[in-house]
Structure 1
Amino acid sequence: MTEQTPSGGQAPRAGAHAGAPDEASAPSRSDLGRRVRARREALGLSREAVAERAGSAPGYLQYLEDHSARPSSGLLLRLAHVLRTSVAELVGGTAELPAGIGRAGHHPELLVLSAAESLSLLGGHGVGRIAVTRQGAPAIAVVNYTVRDRTVAFRTERGGPLTAVAGQEAAFEADHLDEARSEGWSVLVTGTAHEVTEEAEVRAWDAAEFSAPWAGGDRPQWIALPAERVTGRRIRVPGASGGGAAPGEPG
């Protein structure tokens, strides 16, 4: 049997497989916990604040984030509301679908961002797209990147297809969508790309946190793209950022 916790979740029974799926749970509990934690941190909410608003206990929320837990459907619904998302998003039902499958917001506003705002949104690292020309045809490659001193850089294979961008005018784009609010932003960086060959510069990029290539393999060649021109756009829906706050949450 399972023991119902005061928070609405189910504590794992002795000897049972705690990650076994039920109607309201994700195929992998660790994935559910990871998504809950990531969404909570993206909203800047403490574990205590989320637990209180979802009618749970901070200890159970910590367990859900860090272990294989089986929350009830009611708790999942409350968590989705507090975290301004959907149960499908939390349990990974949309994990393999492209971003932007949600509906457009009501009377959205398209805002032009300054270069400083745009570079700030890129942050220190992330995943974006670089436009290259291969055999005379345009192509888009997805890369995980690092940003430093108004320069976007990424790793690739030495002599690989992406090195073709070196010496050319190149375009790099990154974006983010918050489908729960129907909001998002997009930043475009253009400039002349080059291979990083100076030993000191290579060491500096190698030392950057999160610089390891997601695709794996031997990708020692850094390609740098100075942000000669930066443009950004943000889609904002009036009332979405404040009007949809959970009970007790500042608007």
Structure 2
Amino acid sequence: MTEEVPSHAAEGRPVGDLGRRIAQCRTELGVTREETAARAGMATGYLQHLEEHPTASPEAAVLLRLAGALETTVKHLTGGDTELPPGLGQAARTPEFTELTEEECRALLSTHGVGRLAVYTLPGPVIVPVNYSVVDGAIVLRTAPGSTPSQAVGRQVGFEVDHIDEAFSEGWSVLVRGRAWAVTDPAEKARLAARAYSTPWAGGRREQWLRIEPVIVTGRRITA
């Protein structure tokens, strides 16, 4: 397959494992399809073909250039690390560890994502991953009555988000400490549902809203 695929078509929705992973990496880096193609030394139309055709099968050299352009690894682009925990790569030779300001931490929390909620339960502390959004500076999430997150109501909790860049052995983490409250007002529930980025990935009926007001926000970053 050559790389000279016409690029006249409007940008469509990425399909297939490779296409979605390329688009996700572009989004995380904040680069356009055109910028990515230029970095990888390929035609924009060919990159469009890779993103929008699930049967696309690029050569290893193409994947290597794409991984470099997107600051990731071929294994990540092709889904080879799906079932592996992050951070399996080697540490950088000269890492630099820095503390983040509260402003930087809140920027990294951004508006939504997947974080880890630390809750103290009767058997002991438990940490669970949850989908969250940030609305008016507070962390909000929805869960089901009786679930582990629901046991956080009225208690001090920890909430952590992080990101690891396997290709460059870099990463950051943000820790929030505060009290979790149940949202009971119907109007406020409706407002949060309208502002939330997504429903929980786990599915099911998860109609109990929790709100965490950050009291202490700290973070750290490791760079090579």
> Normalized against structure 1, the TM-score is what?
0.81
Instruction: Tell me the equivalent position of 1:169.
Output: 156
The answer to whether the 8 A contact 2:73-2:166 is kept is no
The partner residue of 2:110 within 115, 118, 123 is 123
Q: Following superposition, which runs of at least 4 residues in structure 1 exceed 4 angstroms of deviation? A: none
Q: Which whole-Å CA distance do the structure 2 matches of 1:83 and 1:182 have between them?
A: 15
Q: Which residue matches 1:63?
A: 49
Between the two proteins, what is the percent identity of the paired residues? 48
Q: Letter of the aligned partner of 2:47 in structure 1?
A: L
Contact kept, 8 Å, 2:21 with 2:77, in 1: the verdict is yes
Question: Is structure 2 residue 36 aligned with structure 1 residue 50?
Answer: yes
**1:41 counterpart (27, 50, 59):** 27
2:2 aligned residue:
5
- State how far apart, in whole Å, the 1-side matches of 2:190 and 2:137 are: 18
- Give 1:220 deviation, angstroms: 0.3
**CA distance, structure 2, for counterparts of residue 161 and residue 77 of structure 1:** 42
* Structure 1 pair 45–135 and aligned structure 2 pair: CA distance change class (3 A): same
Whole-Å Cα distance in 1 between the matches of residues 149 and 30 of structure 2? 36
Matches within 5 A, 1:196-211: 196-211=183-198
How far 1:63 moved relative to its partner? Answer: 1.2
Output the CA distance in 1 between the equivalents of 2:165 and 2:175. 19
Please report how far the alpha carbon of residue 90 of structure 1 lies from its aligned counterpart in structure 2 after TM superposition.
0.8
Indicate conservation of the 8 Å contact 2:135/2:195, yes or no.
no
Query: Residue 128 of structure 1 aligns to which amino acid in structure 2?
Result: G
Matched residue, 2:205:
218
Aligned partners of 2:3 and 2:46 also within 8 Å? no
Deviation at 1:233, TM superposition (A): 0.8
Aligned-pair CA distance for 1:105: 1.3
Q: Which position in structure 1 is the counterpart of 2:65? A: 78
Task: Establish whether residue 139 from structure 1 lines up as the match of residue 109 from structure 2.
Answer: no
Gaps of 5+ in 1: 10-28, 238-251
Show the counterpart of 1:22: none
Aligned to 2:9: none
**SS of 2:140's equivalent?**
strand
Deviation, structure 1 residue 55: 2.7
Higher CA-based Rg: 1
2:195 alignment partner, SS class? coil
SS of the residue 1:228 aligns to: strand
